[in-house]
Structure 1
Amino acid sequence: MTNPEEGKPNGAENEKSEFDNSTAIDMDPDESRTQLINGGAGGDDHPEKFQTVIRDPGASSSDGESFNGLGKDEVLQYANDPFWVKLRWVMFILFWVGWLAMLITAIAIIVLAPRCPHRPDLKWYHTDNIYQVYGKSFKDSNDNGIGDFEGLKDKMDYITDDDDLNTKALWLSLIYQADKGSSGMGVIDHKALDPDFIDDPDKFRSWVKKLRKEGKKVILDLIPNQTSKKHPWFVKSVKEEGDYKDYYVWASGDASNPPNNWKMVNSSESAWTYDPTRKQCYLHQFSSEYPDLNLNNSKVLEEMKDIMKYWFDAGVSGFNVRGLEYLVENPDFADDDENCTQTRNYMGTLHVLEELRKVAEDYSDKPGRERVLFATVQHANRAQIEAYWGTEDNERLHIVSPFMSSLSATCDAVCVKQMIENVISEETEEEQWLGLQVGDSDSARIATRLETGDGKYKDRLLTTHALQLLLPGTPFVYYGDEFGQRDGESSVGMDKYRAPMQWDKTENAGFTGKGVKPWTDLSEYYMEDNVEAGKVLFKDVMTPFQAYQKLTKLRHEESFQFGKTKMCTVGSDVLMFSRHASRFPYFITLVNMGDKDVTVSPSDLKCLETKDETIVRFHAQNKNVGDMVDLEDFGVHLEQYDVIVLEFAADD
């Protein structure tokens, strides 16, 4: 075969030799002045065979010389050329001016751009209503006339469902093992449950933990003030056994000569009873059957803390500290005065609360799973209430609830305003949290207090719902108050305030089976005051139950959750208050507490911050809800016992 190299001219052979180690390209003058040529086929696989040559297009390809760029002298010549010097300075200055402009723009955006509205760090016990249930009165599941755990479980949907009460926190009262007939206050064992309520405590603990995982809370009473005389601690204290000797408050004296002049709560009888075995008197502020614990004794305080830990471990989310105002007395036993300064709201109580709070904080390990301590007060003044909250260094209660016992049919708008201003201040709204409580197991029901015989108690109750649900604080709602349950007919102790829940108009109000006698008498009005009746819809009127539902949903608006409060009155009948959180829609609530229609004029509204246009968010008469209203010319017309809530656009 013929060799392919044969027959080639010598020039071709020389050309091949010339390109063995380099490649030269003659470039068209119309193309770029230089072109970068990579070393042909093989690329990076054979770098030793290739190099890049830049040839001056004006030079002859036959002279064998290659162009290797500008020399040092030429570079220096260009470097010092005035044109290039000026150009470099211009580019340098433009770079830094541009950089500074971008920096200033970024800072301006950060400073001037609208910030997210401030939201305080609210816990579940700030945002939820808390629904109080007296365990033996809610629902009887086995037809023995006593409310029980299974009955409560069956009715939990009523408490928690959005279509009913929409409440995620249950306060379950007085379910410990206690003396029969003591209404739960004569505790025999703080870690055991009333066998009439539940026969398997483990079942209760499992249920509480299950609810907690679902984001629902169960709160119990903590009763640190007293026990039953049958409590093992008292039995040992009478015998002066070991540390139990000082577990209760004992003092020298006898039946005819008590240690001092201390009286029982709401009684003229002595608060001391002589014990012939120990030959001393023991203190009892509520009943001789309930001796007072000595909380000045650190060992007793540790017992209370241990009880809290036991129930926190069981999944309980908090405690109502019962009998707060009577926990500690003057250890020197000085005679009392007319204001009960030695036995009520005594300063030693503060140390007890600090110790209890530490336990609650130790268990508040995750957001949404915080533990809460709260208490109701009836006699504490403003300074004492603030002391119960504590300070940043000495935290005590999370919530203090001044019982609104003066709220009744005779309390007009001026009365309500004064009552609220006694406990609400700018500091209260920012750093301290109130409980809003109009009913509980120890007092006449709110519907009974609002009754005058004119049949308007439900209308008045609706105005009370607006106050309890829309003023700053956490609403504590006593079972049955949502629809207007009135006191039962019993004449025994406080039983009438704890009458069975009224579910419907059937026999026994649906609390227990037909023919079964409830543990205490029902209200005689149960056929008209019950859950079923409260849900009936009417065209032009809203029942208290329906108002409760709507106002509870409205309460979740930011301004009602944490907005500032301002109040004023129009005459003696109309109370107006605004709730305003910066940069959120804000609200004005108008409540007519009188039995006559009232028109609030535009000038009357000037005591609060208003705008000409507003939206009606709630109206007790079911009129104009959702409508845009111009206040400038007409003001607001309120019918008797009416409530209107107006919404205003957020501030810019």
Structure 2
Amino acid sequence: MLKRRSLLSGAAAGAAMVMVGPAHAASGHPSAPARRWWKEAVIYEIYPRSFRDSNGDGIGDIPGITEKLSYIRDLGADTIWLAPIFASPNRDNGYDISDYKAIMPEFGTMDDFEKLMTKASSLEIRIILDLVVNHTSDQHPWFQKSRASRDNPYRDYYIWRDSEQGRPPNNWPSPWGGSAWTSDAATNSNYLHLFSPYQPDLNWDNPAVRDEVFSIMKFWLDKGVAGFRMDAITMISKMPSFRDMTPKELQAPEYVYAAGPHLHAYLREMNDRVLSHYDVMTVGEAYGMHAEDIPLFTDSARRELDMVFAFDIVHVDRQGWRKVAWPLSKLKNIYAAAGRPKSRDSWNTVFLDNHDQPRAVSRFGNDTAPFREASAKAVATMLLTQCGTPFIYQGEELGMTNLPFSDLADFEDVQAPIEWDAKVKRQGIDPEAFFESLKGLGRDNARSVMQWDSSRNAVFTRAEKTWYRVNPNYTEINAQDCLQKSGSVYHHFRDLIALRRQYPALVYGSYQDLDPDHPGAFFYARQQGNDRILVLINMSDRGFTYEAPVLTTASLLLSSVKHEGAAKSVTWLAPWEARIYRA
């Protein structure tokens, strides 16, 4: 696995003393943004299959989530995002839906879901659902009818094109590898799938499709869900000409797929017909979107989405398929840009980890001894003090790490073999180099089961076998152990969330990078009115001296390292130490 290296060396590591003057990168919009519950929320993502198994079949389920709601509430999170729970053949772990108004049998029943909602409401926890409406499963009745004949009424629910001289209709690639078209013998035609062949894309240009989607949304909102995370939502409007992509476009086809001419019109229609009638939140997966386009989706005056997941931060260590080293300045620049909103009511998300990303401590910290806990706390401090609504992924609050992989067969993710075939077999990329990047960046890293205890199978299940692997380090990293230790990663998360609720500047405040050029210290301010919060994080494996005049009179609110007496000096930062001050 590629590890983060120390960002300091030589004399710089031993004595990095700076004098900080005016902010180098600054300021949010001069008018304070409007208050909304979802801006102040702390959202906890659950991957149901891997969270908690209640019935002993080795697969996580909805009653298991209900059982652990108090754990989430005690952490301080007040909203849960559930990865897909709908009926699905599970070719892509629920992101291939075959019935939007039914619960996946492995996860339970609609009655189980309603019990979850009732218990969550009693604990003042909101629940949002993962809505996947760019595509369905190829087992969905709509698609089964669509492929039955060319004149079937459901034919136009999907995108079909005939072959051109025995070739696919155009040269569009799937971002996962291979063609975005699959030939279907039943009608001697090809259907479009931007992702796997098991996930045919819906035709949003058909008003009947939009009616179906809006009906699905109303069904769940009327049950009391608090909103939706919208998977691949930027891909719903397709280029009408279906022309071939240019060589330049083929280098990053996702930006073409996210530039459909009717995207914003469809999102406004969704808002006008459905979302505006409920007090809910929406967060879109903005795959293929440039950072400067965020206000086009999230400015409240445009009536589209509330927030989007932009990918700048989680692509900081990616160059195409390669996992690469990155300087701290690159991460700082991304956060500084996010802290300069282009409109008063454009709102950010803050995330480092989710079901599609490797573990945060393995990626942004150092998951080896003796640095794992310290760096997990440092990374958590960064997550919960940036501009926007923070999203925590299950196990992140424990400092759970990436999995060990030794062979391609270790991967369960449908994406892994598709990418292997495209990159190694077709493009001739060195298999060892590709495998090393796959280990560090693969989605399966996040999908290992939740580590509740040091007993067999991490007490995720009482079954002999789990649906997917348990990380071997569960005997050392688990919830029971973290809860019992006052200085654990879990308790640091809990303290950070409490601090965020206590100081509105950490929610609505402007952002200032106070030392953008320092190679190891991440030092920034959040300010609302006269309330100014300073965040100082050592993002390296080495301790160093650090001084800034503003810190001499600031009061320490929280530190990831216990200090006694003179040890509170602002001069020395231990490896991966994080501190929060009130100026």
TM over 0.5: yes
Specify the alignment match of 1:351 in structure 2. Answer: 265
CA RMSD of aligned residues (A): 2.5
Q: Residues 224, 466 of structure 1: CA spacing in aligned structure 2 closer, same or farther, 3 A cutoff?
A: same
Could you say which residue in structure 1 is the equivalent of 2:464? Answer: 516
- The equivalent of 2:539 in structure 1 is 593
Q: Percent identity?
A: 26
Letter in 2 for 1:374: V
| TM-score normalised to structure 1 length | 0.73
The separation in 1 between residues aligned to 2:222 and 2:256, in whole angstroms, is 36
Cα drift, residue 271 of structure 1:
0.7
1:158 corresponds in structure 2 to 71
- 1:582 equivalent in structure 2: 529
Task: Map residues 547-558 of structure 1 onto 2, 5 A cutoff.
Answer: 547-556=492-501, 557-558=503-504
Which SS does the other structure have where 1:218 is aligned? Answer: strand
2:475 aligns with 527
| 1:189-228 equivalence runs, <5 A | 189-198=99-108, 200-209=109-118, 211-212=120-121, 215-228=124-137
- Aligned counterparts of 2:547 and 2:368: Cα–Cα separation in 1: 32
Which of these residues, 451, 458, 461, is aligned with residue 373 of structure 2? Answer: 458
Structure 1 distance, partners of 2:466, 2:338, is 39
The answer to whether the 8 A contact 1:488-1:498 is kept is: no
Alignment deviations for residues 529-568 of structure 1 (CA, whole Å, 9 cap, x no partner): 1112223436xxx332221111111111111121111013
1:207 to partner: Cα distance = 3.5
Counterpart for residue 578 of structure 2: 643
So what's the TM-score if we normalise by structure 2? 0.81
Alpha carbons of structure 1 residues 204 and 388: separation in structure 2 relative to 1, 3 Å = same
Gaps of 5+ in 2: 1-30, 318-323, 405-409, 414-442
Q: Is the 8 A contact 2:514 2:525 kept in 1?
A: no
Question: What is the number of residues matched between the two proteins?
Answer: 503
Aligned AA for 1:167? A
Residues 312 and 363, structure 1, Cα contact 8 Å, conserved in 2: no
Residue 219 of structure 2 corresponds to residue 274 of structure 1: no
Partner of residue 374, structure 1: 283
Aligned to 2:455: 506
Query: Which runs of no fewer than 5 residues in structure 1 stay unpaired?
Result: 1-117, 365-369
Contact preservation (8 Å) 1:254, 1:281 = no
* Matches for 1:274-353 after TM superposition, within 5 Å: 274-336=183-245, 337=249, 338-340=251-253, 341-353=255-267
Q: CA deviation at 1:136?
A: 1.4
Q: Residues 264 and 119 from structure 1, CA distance in 2 versus in 1: closer, same or farther, beyond 3 angstroms?
A: closer
Aligned residue type for 1:362: S
CA deviation profile, 1:383-405 (whole Å, cap 9, x unmatched): 3222222451x211101122331
Instruction: Please tell me whether the aligned partners of residues 205 and 315 of structure 1 are also in contact (alpha carbons under 8 angstroms).
Output: no
Instruction: Answer whether contact 2:63 2:116 (CA < 8 A) is retained.
Output: no
Q: Helix, strand or coil: the match of 1:427? A: coil
Is the 8 Å Cα contact of residues 426 and 564 (structure 1) preserved in structure 2?
Answer: no
What pairs with 1:221-240 in structure 2 (closer than 5 Å)?
221-238=130-147, 239-240=149-150
Aligned residue for 1:614? 554
CA distance in 2, matches of 1:419, 1:119: 22
Amino acid at match of 1:350: H
| 1:90-113 per-position Cα deviation (integer Å, ceiling 9, x unaligned) | xxxxxxxxxxxxxxxxxxxxxxxx
Matched with 2:416 is: none
Over 3 Å counting, the alpha-carbon distance change for 1:359 and 1:517 in structure 2 is: farther
Residue 241 of structure 1 deviates from its aligned partner by 4.9
Equivalent position of 1:99 in the other structure: none
Q: Secondary structure at the match of 1:274?
A: strand
Structure 1 residue 418: deviation in Å?
A: 1.2
Q: Is the 8 A contact 2:73 2:123 kept in 1?
A: no
Choose 1 or 2 for highest CA Rg.
Answer: 1
Deviations 1:56-115 (A, max 9, x none): xxxxxxxxxxxxxxxxxxxxxxxxxxxxxxxxxxxxxxxxxxxxxxxxxxxxxxxxxxxx
Listed one character per residue, the Cα deviations across residues 154-189 of structure 1 (whole Å, up to 9, x for unaligned) are: 11100112xxx1111011111110014431012110
Post-superposition offset of 1:432: 1.1
Native 8 Å contact 2:360 2:401 kept in 1: yes
Shift of 1:229: 1.2
Could you tell me how far 1:210 is from its partner in structure 2? 5.4
The amino acid across from 2:87 in the alignment is Q
Query: Partners in 2 of 1:530 and 1:249 — Cα distance?
Result: 46
Task: Determine the C-alpha separation between the residues in 2 that align with 1:123 and 1:425.
Answer: 20
Deviations for 1:282-338, whole angstroms, at most 9, x for unmatched residues?
001111111111112221111111110000011111000001232222021011223
Quote the residue 1:537 is aligned against: 485
Q: Cα 1:638–1:495, aligned 2, differ >3 Å: closer, same or farther?
A: closer
**Aligned-partner Cα distance in 2 for 1:601–1:461:** 24
**Whole-Å separation in 1 of the counterparts to 2:445 and 2:572:** 39
Change in 2 beyond 3 A, CA 1:166/1:454 = closer
Code of the aligned partner of 1:174: P
- Is 1:414 the counterpart of 2:329 in the alignment? yes
The residue number in structure 1 matching 2:46 is 133
One-letter amino acid of the counterpart of residue 132, structure 2: I
Is the CA contact (8 Å cut-off) linking 1:412 and 1:594 kept in structure 2? no
Tell me if structure 2 keeps the 8 A contact 1:614–1:628.
no
Alignment of 1:81-100 (within 5 A): none
Instruction: Pick closer, same or farther for the CA change 1:129–1:360 going to 2, 3 Å.
Output: farther
Secondary structure at the aligned position of 1:143 is classed as coil
1:342–1:192 CA distance, 2 compared to 1 (3 A) = same
More contact order relative to length (CA 8 Å, sep ≥ 6):
2
Q: Secondary structure at the match of 1:482?
A: helix
Quick one: distance in 1 between partners of 2:402 and 2:580? 30
SS of the residue 2:554 aligns to: strand
1:234-272 deviations in whole A, cap 9, x for unaligned?
1111124554121001112169411111001131x1111
Cα distance change on mapping 1:121 and 1:500 into 2, 3 Å: same
Equivalent residue in structure 2 for 1:122, among 35, 40, 58? 35
Query: How far 1:414 moved relative to its partner?
Result: 1.3
Note if contact 1:212-1:315 (Cα within 8 Å) is conserved in structure 2: no
Report the alpha carbon displacement of residue 417 of structure 1 after superposing the two structures with TM. 0.7
CA distance in 2, matches of 1:250, 1:146: 36
Change (3 A) 1:133 1:452: closer
What is the DSSP-based 3-state SS (H/G/I as helix, E as strand, rest coil) of the residue aligned with 1:532? helix
Query: Which residue number corresponds to residue 18 of structure 2?
Result: none
What residue in structure 2 maps to residue 187 of structure 1?
97
